[in-house]
Structure 1
Amino acid sequence: MQKFIITGGCRLSGELTLQGSKNSALPIMAAALLGEGESVLRNCPTLTDVYSASRILSCLGCKCSISDGNAVIDPCGASGSEIPEELMREMRSSIMFMGAILGRTGECTFSVPGGCELGPRPIDMHLAALRKLGADISDCGGRIHCRIAGGRARGAKINLPFPSVGATENIILCAVCAEGETIVNNAAREPEICDLCSFLRKRGADIKGDGESTIVISGTDKLHGCEHTVMPDRIAGATYLSMVAAAGGEIILKNTCTAEMEPFLSVLEQTGCRIYPAENRIYLRSGARLRAVRDRIRTMPHPGFPTDAQAVLMAALATADGASVFEENIFDCRYRHTAALCKMGADIEVLGKVAVVRGVPKLRGADVEATDLRGGAAMAAAALAAEGTTCLSGISHIDRGYEKFEEAVSSLGGRIRRV
């Protein structure tokens, strides 16, 4: 099992070009399964989750290759409708292939996905929405089979009880080639949803309202290939900004989606960091000790504070002056990283969905293990700010979402090596 050895205590400084978004690339790869014609995805991040998505596409009959930040996907020979259990286990977001497969073949068989253990992620909303679109769904021994009579979904009005990103993506992927019009109320508004819809529109889809709470999809008979550049990864951006805030120093983050990062930037600015955002770059300077955030940090669907940025900001606030309060409203088990931070000397009290972080003068290196993607990144951020050396295991989680992580940190002057 590989590990990161991180020696803290160094100020970070430098420029870093942000990778393409993991949470955008994966549903776009699923969308490339629909219709005919080759799709070329630029700025596609080199991640283990992206390779897992590529294996799923290949299993379904697609031609898929990834090289030099480009993914080339040709669905012309794709006729498969079943995802093997071992592939579903590789990543949590594999469930989004359900809508795309149904949209292409009219049936799909899969198991409950794996990935980070963030608590239950019920797929009831996904299944209820697909039933509205005409799918008959049965569960046999943990394998779920979906079938649409006649092979083509029918447009419907769908009211989501919660603006679920995954459910919204699955509805779009199934409805884009359906008969008639689909209206999604209380849809997720995340920027990655907009990037998915932008890709599909380039291929000939008729989608309106993405980025708002109501999305209208008019089904089409035909989608063609296109070229598309994946949006920058706002969560990776939040991670590297949090690292520099925690360790001290300055960074110019290039190729950013600055407007989409505003819910995070507005909170980080309260810590006393100097932040100068521009259209596609962000400059941050972190001076002396950070200040605690005065307002409760509530994770919410976009445009609220992103749940994926909660852990990395918490790592930065572990040594802030005063107490910060987090409230996690998306996942039940998103505080699993707090035990490792406390082992490093942080003072964090978890009470249900609330975590109180009382800043301490310093953190110290320790042996810790990543249990999920963003929690692992938080441990790395804390290690860079800590005195001494940290041995961080379980880094396969980090590889799922961060491209060449140790190279990025090293380019800023961080002392990190993979062993």
Structure 2
Amino acid sequence: MSEFHIQGAAKLSGTFSITGAKNATTPILCAAMLVPGTVVLQNVPDILDVARLSTMLRSMGASVTRHGHSLTIKAWDIDPRTLDVKAVKRMRSSSLLISPLLARFGQLEIPEPGGCNLGKRPFEAHLYALQAFGVESTILEEGYRFHAANLSPAELTMSELSPTATENAIVMAALLPGTPTRIHNAASEPHVQDLCHFLETAGVNIEGIGTHELVIHGVKQLRRDVEYTIIPDPIETGSMICLAAASHAEITLEHAAPLSLMRMEMQKFHELGVRWEEVPDMDHGWYTSQHLRILPSKLTAVYKVHSMPHPGFPSDLLPPFATLATQAEGKTLIHEWMYEDRQKYLGELSRMGAQIEILDPHRAIITGPTLLTGQSITSFDIRAGATLVIAALIAKGESRIANIELLDRGYEAFDQRLRALGAQITRKS
């Protein structure tokens, strides 16, 4: 087990390059199994979740090679019977293997996917969506058995706005030509949109991208070779805005996520008093990225911020925003309605001196500003890890953060990139 040792209150400044989106890379990497030739993905973050998913593909016989932030995938000649089931149990996003493997091979047995411990995360939305296409599923003691002998396009209403279940439905529809598949109540998160645009690059026509109503015109076979660039990570972009604003630092975020995909997040930052300047970066067709210069700001608490499906405030950014709220004048209500176990990080912030009143498993009131002090604390999931790093960097004294392997799942070389800003952070085994 490794931990971060952080000496807080160091002056931060400089430039931080945003990496590709974790939550977009994993579904696109799985969808690459539908491509008969070679897939080249650009702007791929070098993180543990991508490495683990690449290992799963290799366990079935795929070729996955990395050159910097580029991945080359050849995954047509694979055998799902050799899938590394132990790896599946460690990753929630391994559920995204189901649709491409069923579309290709017609049957699959897979254990219950793992991932961050955020509370109850039922799998029923996936099963419901798959059933609409003709998939028969059997619940086993430790997983699922799927049989898909008679797949056909479907019209379905998602039982919940689940991004991963929506992604499974989209991928399942991609190779079903004929009558278009219509998905109602589809999740519209940026990574869902990125998956849709990848499939369009591969030859699938998808209407309604970015809305809750998708029409997918499946094809018999995708284009043989596909090259695609992953979107910049909106969650990493938001996390770094929180760090810059909480530390009253001037930090430039290079290749930041498109603000058109972060309207609610930027609205809340604006309400809090965060100031920034935008410099256009590159036009990527369906979006334009930009550089963001975050400026020192006087922070005033917002009345309430609560997680919602896109285009609402993302659950993954709520923990970093809570740390930012500890430095704002006044009271902020944090409402995490999606996951009942996600607020465990608030206990760690309280140990550092944050004034937090926990109302129930989903709601808390944060009063600021407060001077945080260094403590020995523990990360409970990916986003909690980033949250506690932000808190430690603005705190007085030394903090030690345990269980940082979870942070490595979603943030590339976070400690190294923070040191380039002046952070006093070291990794200890």
> For each residue in 1:355-394, what CA deviation from the matched residue of structure 2 results, as whole angstroms up to 9, or x when unmatched?
1111143000000010100011100000011000000110
Give the letter aligned to residue 196 of structure 1. Answer: L
Question: What residue in structure 2 maps to residue 196 of structure 1?
Answer: 195
Question: What residue in structure 1 maps to residue 286 of structure 2?
Answer: none
* 8 Å CA contact retained: 2:375, 2:399: yes
Give the letter aligned to residue 214 of structure 1. Answer: E
> For each residue in 1:176-212, what CA deviation from the matched residue of structure 2 results, as whole angstroms up to 9, or x when unmatched?
1124321100101111111111111111112221211
Unaligned runs of 5+ in 1: none
Question: What residue in structure 2 maps to residue 273 of structure 1?
Answer: 274
Give the letter aligned to residue 357 of structure 1. Answer: I
Deviation at 1:266, TM superposition (A): 1.4
Is 1:392 equivalent to 2:401 in the alignment? yes
Is 1:282 equivalent to 2:272 in the alignment? no
- Distance in structure 2 (CA, Å) of the matches to 1:354 and 1:276: 32
- Distance in structure 2 (CA, Å) of the matches to 1:361 and 1:207: 49
Residue in structure 2 matching 1:306, options 303, 307, 314: 314
* 8 Å CA contact retained: 2:57, 2:83: no
Is 1:370 equivalent to 2:368 in the alignment? no
- Distance in structure 1 (CA, Å) of the matches to 2:307 and 2:117: 18
- Distance in structure 1 (CA, Å) of the matches to 2:272 and 2:8: 21
The correspondence of residues 81-230 of structure 1 with structure 2, limited to 5 A, is 81=81, 83-150=83-150, 153-180=151-178, 181-223=180-222, 224-230=224-230
> Identity rate of aligned residues, in percent?
32
Deviation at 1:351, TM superposition (A): 1.9
> For each residue in 1:273-314, what CA deviation from the matched residue of structure 2 results, as whole angstroms up to 9, or x when unmatched?
2122344111111245x22113x1011011101111000010
Residue in structure 1 matching 2:347, options 314, 339, 356: 339
The correspondence of residues 305-324 of structure 1 with structure 2, limited to 5 A, is 305-324=313-332
Give the letter aligned to residue 342 of structure 1. Answer: S
Deviation at 1:23, TM superposition (A): 0.4
What SS class does the counterpart of residue 344 from structure 2 fall into?
A: coil
Give the letter aligned to residue 350 of structure 2. Answer: C
Give the letter aligned to residue 177 of structure 1. Answer: L
- Distance in structure 2 (CA, Å) of the matches to 1:213 and 1:265: 22
Give the stretch that moved more between structures: 110-119 or 79-88: 79-88
What SS class does the counterpart of residue 109 from structure 1 fall into?
A: strand
> For each residue in 1:206-234, what CA deviation from the matched residue of structure 2 results, as whole angstroms up to 9, or x when unmatched?
22212111111122111122111110001
Q: CA RMSD in A?
A: 1.4
Residue in structure 2 matching 1:326, options 325, 334, 355: 334
Unaligned runs of 5+ in 2: 281-289
Give the stretch that moved more between structures: 153-162 or 46-55: 153-162
Distance change >3 Å, CA 145–CA 304, structure 1 → 2 = same
Give the number of equivalent residue pairs. 415
Give the letter aligned to residue 344 of structure 2. Answer: R
Give the letter aligned to residue 395 of structure 1. Answer: I
Distance change >3 Å, CA 81–CA 265, structure 1 → 2 = farther
- Distance in structure 1 (CA, Å) of the matches to 2:246 and 2:91: 29
TM-score (norm 2): 0.94
- Distance in structure 1 (CA, Å) of the matches to 2:369 and 2:170: 46
Give the letter aligned to residue 379 of structure 1. Answer: L
Give the letter aligned to residue 292 of structure 2. Answer: I
- Distance in structure 2 (CA, Å) of the matches to 1:192 and 1:65: 22
TM-score (norm 1): 0.96
The correspondence of residues 73-88 of structure 1 with structure 2, limited to 5 A, is 73-81=73-81, 83-88=83-88
